[in-house]
Amino acid sequence: MTSRTASFDPGSAGADTPLRRTAASLPKAMENYSSDSKRPEPRTNEKKCSWASYMTNSSTMIVMIGLPARGKTYISKKLTRYLNWIGVPTKVFNLGEYRREAVQSYKSYDFFRHDNEEAMKIRKQCALVALQDVRTYLNDESGQIAVFDATNTTRERRDLILSFAQDNAYKASSPQALWLWCGLRCVLRGHGEESFSRTTKSVFFVESICDDPDVIAENIMDVKVSSPDYPERDRESVMEDFLKRIECYKVMYQPLDPDKHDKARSFIQVINVGQRFLVNHVQDYIQSKIVYYLMNIHVHTHSIYLCRHGESEYNVEGLIGGDSGLSARGKEFARVLRTFVEDQRLAGLKVWTSQLKRSIQTAEALGVPYEQWKILNEIDAGVCEEISYEKIKRDYPDEYTSRDQDKYHYRYPGGESYQDLVQRLEPVIMELERQGNVLVICHQAVMRCLLAYFLDKSADDLPYLKCPLHVVLKLTPVAYGCKVDMFDLKVEAVNTHRNRPLSKPRQEVPPALLRRNSFTPLSSQDQVKRPRLFSMGNPPWIPLPPSLASTEVPEAQEQEELNDDQ
């Protein structure tokens, strides 16, 4: 976020500040949205996307609603982490950060009084600048979802956001998409077309409601005491000032009205930290994913322990995959792991393993009940199972090179990619969010995927996270992240980690597309050209009308688009 700072002085209502000039320079459409506004141009910087993005046919704004200290930022950050993990590019736009840029020294709750006209102007300007950044992210930076993290407690503010979304018309970002939209309107004309309006389709409200004073006080103590708004302030004065700030918002607060004013809008109300939910008018795939996730996360104190199985016989031999048993050192690790678990004194600990022999043997040594999950099995290496990397490099050089070029998206012939593995592990994440203390005994690729979710790691970094044998990681969720403790159980083991290549190797042949099934031959060069109909990813082929299908594309541009599809 570029710096746009402005000082706030209640006595200088006419001051000319950088933030004022920035807001003043916004198009008039930002304040009086017009259907004649310029539509965003087609994107030219699209990135390879995940399975989830193929199901997302429009940019989406998630708009938070709620009084302060209701967990809006907590929800925003967790939801953003989840959506990025499943492959939907998502970014949070926290209005508090914009406000702190504009007002560099916060003094008291008086700034949030509804009758403080100067402060109200600055707060509105901050919202306009944030919306401008949302538009840039969604239209120019390959963003798919923007989370607008603010109180948004008035209908006036929410209507402003809806008008902003309608004015930008994220669906019609290319001629092909516009054609598809027009065709859809023809089909739907007279059959409830209004329910498919661009505005309600691309905006989803998440309202956090809490009337439990203990939860509110805990939120203030856990998060707000360390806020940049309160440097060097004691806890008592922070609590007093923040409670008065909440009262300022209550004067203007208009909750969502599912029975009348907001009955046609898409939203979920999260009541008292997930004790109850109200879901209204969910319209598309991504909205259903958001609801599914929010109904599974729970705010409670617990720890998640992750470790790999003990060293296996194939680990010692340098072979990947397979279903070998533990080596002598692997069996020793299993015995030491039992002592470690007993020393932790974890009430109600659950133990999960894969269905592969090496993880089951590790769990058996613990002497406690455990559950076997097939989806925790190691990544399927297909025809490369039970052979070494050296043999792959020698016998399948194109496969070896392709994997080093894009390890996350690369799919083994007849096997899986890390991207596939993330999709497979999503139910595990949902269960881990709901459960208490859990020990997961899994495998290197699986552990990397789970770590990437909890530590908010990118797809590029995920395949190179270090998960050594005979080490236990303890993950403890905290306010806006996850605390990690590492325990080396001091049992020697081979090193199975392969470092990221210093530079991507030169490619002698065109890269293979992601394999769509297990029967695609090794290094298949089969290329399927599909139209770019949506903002991220490509849906199945849809015939275009002659006017669009006959459009000539320069050879260089055509080759570039093919490369992008790969």
Q: Which residue ranges are tagged as binding site for substrate? A: 308-315, 358
The beta strands (E) that lie in 11-66 are given as 60-65
Residue 536, helix vs strand vs coil = coil
Token digits of residue 101: 């840029």
Residue 523, helix vs strand vs coil = coil
**378 is an active site residue:** yes
Closest CA to 532 of 47, 38, 37, 39: 47
Q: Which residues are documented as binding site?
A: 308-315, 358
Question: Within 10 Å of residue 300's Cβ, how many Cβ atoms?
Answer: 12
DSSP annotation string for 350-366: EEEE-SSHHHHHHHHTT
Ramachandran bin of 367, using left for φ above 0, alpha for ψ from -120 to 50, beta for the remaining angles: left
**300 is an active site residue:** no
The beta strands (E) that lie in 238-333 are given as 267-271, 276-280, 304-308
428 touches 345 (CB < 8 A): no
Ramachandran bin of 327, using left for φ above 0, alpha for ψ from -120 to 50, beta for the remaining angles: beta
Active-site entry in 46, 101, 309, 416: 309
Helices (H), ranges, 406-504? 418-434, 444-455
Active-site entry in 46, 101, 207, 378: 378
Provide the angle, in degrees to the nearest 10, between the axes of the packed helices 418-434 and 444-455.
Answer: 60
CA geometry: angle at 325 spanning 321 and 329, to 5°? 105
How, if at all, do strands 350-353 and 438-442 pair?
parallel
Token digits of residue 319: 């072979």
What is the spatial order of strands in the sheet that 90-94 belongs to? 90-94, 145-149, 60-65, 203-209, 267-271, 276-280
Residues annotated as catalytic are: 309, 378
